[in-house]
C-alpha cells in the first residue's frame, strides 16, 4: 500500500507539471504578461485563490475516489 501511495503521488506531481507547462510552452508572451499581472495582485487575493484551488482539488479527489 505504501508503494502504491508514492506511485500515485508521483503520477499526480507529473501530471501537474505537464499541465503547468502547457501554457508557457504554447503561449510564452501571454504567459509572461499573466505573470506580470499576477505580481500586481495582493497577497490576500493570492492566498484566497490558493485556498480555493486546494479545496477544489480535495473535492475532486473525494469525488473521484
Each of the 65 residues of the chain gets a pLDDT tens digit; together they read 799 999 999 999 999 999 999 999 999 999 999 999 999 999 999 999 999 999 999 999 899 88
**pLDDT of res. 10:** 94
Taking the C-alpha atoms of residue 39 and residue 56, their distance in angstroms, rounded to an integer, is 23
Q: Which residues contact 31 (CB under 8 A, 6 or more apart)?
A: 23, 24
Radius of gyration of the chain, Cα coordinates, nearest whole angstrom: 15
Q: What is the pLDDT of residue 43?
A: 96
C-beta neighbour count of 31 within 10 angstroms: 14
pTM for this structure? Answer: 0.70
For the chain, how many structural domains are there in total? 1
20: left (phi over 0), alpha (psi -120 to 50) or beta: alpha
pLDDT at residue number 65? 81
What is the pLDDT, as a whole number, of residue 16? Answer: 94
Residues spanned by the domain of 13? 2-64
Amino acid at each position: 500500500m505504501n508503494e502504491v501511495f508514492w506511485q500515485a503521488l508521483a503520477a499526480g506531481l507529473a501530471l501537474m507539471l505537464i499541465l503547468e507547462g502547457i501554457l508557457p510552452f504554447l503561449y510564452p508572451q501571454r504567459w509572461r504578461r499573466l505573470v506580470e499581472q499576477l505580481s500586481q495582485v495582493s497577497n490576500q487575493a493570492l492566498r484566497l485563490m490558493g485556498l480555493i484551488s486546494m479545496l477544489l482539488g480535495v473535492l475532486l479527489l473525494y469525488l473521484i475516489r
